Amino acid sequence: MDTQTYWNRETELMPRGRLKALQLDRLKTTLRRVYDNVPYYRDMMRERGIEPGDVKSLEDLRLLPFLTKRDLRDTYPFGLFAVPFEDIVRVHASSGTTGKQIIAGYTRRDIDTWADCMARCLVMMGADKNARVQVSYGYGLFTGGLGAHGGAEKLGAMTIPASSGNTQRQINLLKDLGVTVLCCTPSYALYLAEALAEMGYTKADLSLKAGCFGAEPWTEKMRVRIEAGLGLKAYDIYGLTEIMGPSVAQTCSCQNGLHIWEDCNIAEIIDPDTGEVLPEGQTGELVITTINKDGMPLIRYRTRDITRLIPEQCECGRTHIRMSRLEGRTDDMLIIRGVNVFPSQIETVLLSSGEAAPHYQIIVERVNNTDSLTVEIEVSEKMLSDDVRGMEELGNKLRRSLDSVLGLTCKVRLVEPKTIARSEGKAKRVIDKRKLD
Ligand code: DLL
């Protein structure tokens, strides 16, 4: 597939000076609209003594307060809508793991902008209207299914709304319909690769060329596994319900960072503890301001996702800034005996070993007021041996690697293949029993 074409050439290759001018223009319009139409925003700005006219440059964005998930909950369900109710044509919701769900509302133009951004992502993966796109993200309130679907249809590709689940049928569809592009979570992609082998097929029985995987953290090593298992090139797609759903950002064929569509979003990176904006290139929490959204614009929304911006021009020609693969979320970060631990660090260690399957679960417990971390790891079929000593050695080796990377002692429990539950959507990697107490 040709990855050198663009869906929206003018926008995707727009010189940075023009792109910044466009951002400022759209930012000013957005601020004026939310100030006039959304009392919650107006109050927030007035509390700070700010009016939309005070924002004269992109740097002035810093004058505005942050918005957090808490604000979205406080204004649940419709308090941040910035258009008359009759203009909202769809809502999506994010369940989250804690607290009340949040609702996002979209106008017809928003749905169209979203589909346009998603079409850009698909073309960035080499798809065109001859592509056959299987959407195996869940359809419904979750944005994955309908989001990917909208882009594939806009592109004119043959769109297969498989949704998630029913894994054997998924494989049959992939094979029988000659699907070229698969959209699903990376953990489900891995599960599909496993199921493919179990059904007696190989990647040669499929016609897959590209995969559009996101909605949960994953690592470079996991990408390599998926690519080998399904015989495709795997792209990382990012998004969140509050902003748009999939297609806020995606990797191009250079596979070195995700292009954030900057004609629709302004990205900042802040220190999650102090809220201070960090210089370009430093790692911190991603903050997004939407500048091309009518239904529910978000100003300086704290995503809780940890990444850094890559300002250098990309070889693919697109001028939109990139962000690095997400390192985790501020609220995913486990603090165990004072040490910060991200599930992605554990995944990297396991996959580097070459001996553990990428199926694992992290269990955190508190015994006698001390936190303990246990990593349950599935061994691969070929490693599963009756030789108890061999298994013991493997367990010790993994434990030593984890100890040194994490900087804390942990326990390793090796479990038999296929004993850790597979997920058809977002994988549940962490069981924090401390929170359950
Ligand atoms: O997960 C939207 C989406 C659907 C993105 C399909 C990509 C593909 P939410 O359910 O609201 O929306 O969850 C958003 O998921 O803040 C990140 O923490 C995480 N996330 C999304 N994409 C990625 C990714 C959708 N590529 C939250 N890598 C975000 C790592 C991701 N984490």
Compute, in angstroms, the gap from residue 73 CA to the centroid of ligand 1.
Answer: 19
Q: Which protein residue's CA is at the shortest distance from atom 28 of ligand 1?
A: 217
The boundaries of the domain holding residue 26 are 9-331
Residue 98 has pLDDT above 80, yes or no: no
Q: Which two tokens stand for residue 238?
A: 């990012």
Where is the domain boundary, 315, 331, 347? 331
What CATH number has the domain bearing residue 228?
A: 3.40.50.12780
Q: Which of 410, 390, 117, 401 is nearest to 237 (CA)?
A: 117
76-80, 93-97, 283-287, range with the lowest pLDDT: 93-97
Q: Report helix, strand or coil for 248.
A: strand
Q: What dihedral angle (degrees, nearest 10) is formed by the CA atoms of 164, 146, 427, 194?
A: 40
Considering the domain architecture, whether residues 22 and 103 belong to the same structural domain is answered as yes
Supply the pLDDT for residue 386: 64
Supply the pLDDT for residue 196: 97
Compute, in angstroms, the gap from residue 113 CA to the centroid of ligand 1.
Answer: 18
Q: Report helix, strand or coil for 375.
A: strand
Considering the domain architecture, whether residues 288 and 343 belong to the same structural domain is answered as no
- CB count within 10 Å of CB 43 equals 9
State which of 137, 216, 220, 347 you would mutate to test the pocket of ligand 1, scoring each by most atoms of that ligand within 8 A of its C-beta: 216
What CATH number has the domain bearing residue 409?
A: 3.30.300.30
CA distance linking residue 41 with residue 300, whole number of Å: 11
Q: Which two tokens stand for residue 49?
A: 């003594």
Looking up tokens 């367990």 gives 395
Compute, in angstroms, the gap from residue 101 CA to the centroid of ligand 1.
Answer: 15
Tens of pLDDT, residue by residue over 360-386, are: 999 999 887 788 999 999 887 777 766
Given pLDDT bands bounded at 50, 70 and 90, which one contains residue 213?
A: very high
Compute, in angstroms, the gap from residue 242 CA to the centroid of ligand 1.
Answer: 10
Where is the domain boundary, 297, 331, 365? 331
Residue 212 has pLDDT above 60, yes or no: yes
What does the pLDDT average to over 311-329?
95
Supply the pLDDT for residue 74: 94
State which of 298, 326, 327 you would mutate to test the pocket of ligand 1, scoring each by most atoms of that ligand within 8 A of its C-beta: 326
- CB count within 10 Å of CB 266 equals 22
Q: Which of 7, 28, 8 is nearest to 289 (CA)?
A: 28
Compute, in angstroms, the gap from residue 419 CA to the centroid of ligand 1.
Answer: 26
Given pLDDT bands bounded at 50, 70 and 90, which one contains residue 437?
A: very low
Considering the domain architecture, whether residues 185 and 46 belong to the same structural domain is answered as yes
> CA of 431: how far to CAs of 29, 97, 400, 427, in Å?
44, 12, 22, 11
Q: Which residues surround ligand 1 with Cβ inside 6 Å?
A: 94, 137, 142-144, 214-217, 236-241, 245-246, 303, 305, 326, 329
The pTM for the full model equals 0.90
Q: Which segments of 242-337 are extended strands (E)? A: 245-251, 258-260, 265-270, 284-290, 301-307, 309-310, 322-323, 328-329, 334-336
Opening angle at CA 260, ends 240 and 160, nearest 5:
60
What does the pLDDT average to over 188-193?
94
Work out the mean pLDDT of the chain and round it to a whole number. Answer: 93
Considering the domain architecture, whether residues 223 and 345 belong to the same structural domain is answered as no
Q: Which protein residue's CA is at the shortest distance from atom 30 of ligand 1?
A: 217
Considering the domain architecture, whether residues 312 and 357 belong to the same structural domain is answered as no
Tens of pLDDT, residue by residue over 386-405, are: 677 888 888 999 999 999 99
Given pLDDT bands bounded at 50, 70 and 90, which one contains residue 72?
A: very high
Q: Which protein residue's CA is at the shortest distance from atom 29 of ligand 1?
A: 240
Compute, in angstroms, the gap from residue 217 CA to the centroid of ligand 1.
Answer: 8
Compute, in angstroms, the gap from residue 240 CA to the centroid of ligand 1.
Answer: 5
| 330 vs 77, residue with greater confidence | 77
- Report if residue 134 sits inside a domain: yes
Question: Which atom of ligand 1 is nearest the CA belonging to 137?
Answer: 6
Q: Which two tokens stand for residue 290?
A: 């939407």
- Radius of gyration over every alpha carbon of the chain, rounded to an integer in angstroms: 22
Considering the domain architecture, whether residues 279 and 421 belong to the same structural domain is answered as no
- Report if residue 1 sits inside a domain: no
- Report if residue 284 sits inside a domain: yes
State which of 305, 344, 423, 429 you would mutate to test the pocket of ligand 1, scoring each by most atoms of that ligand within 8 A of its C-beta: 305
Given pLDDT bands bounded at 50, 70 and 90, which one contains residue 434?
A: confident
Question: Which atom of ligand 1 is nearest the CA belonging to 303?
Answer: 16
Considering the domain architecture, whether residues 290 and 348 belong to the same structural domain is answered as no
Residue 356 has pLDDT above 90, yes or no: no
Compute, in angstroms, the gap from residue 404 CA to the centroid of ligand 1.
Answer: 29
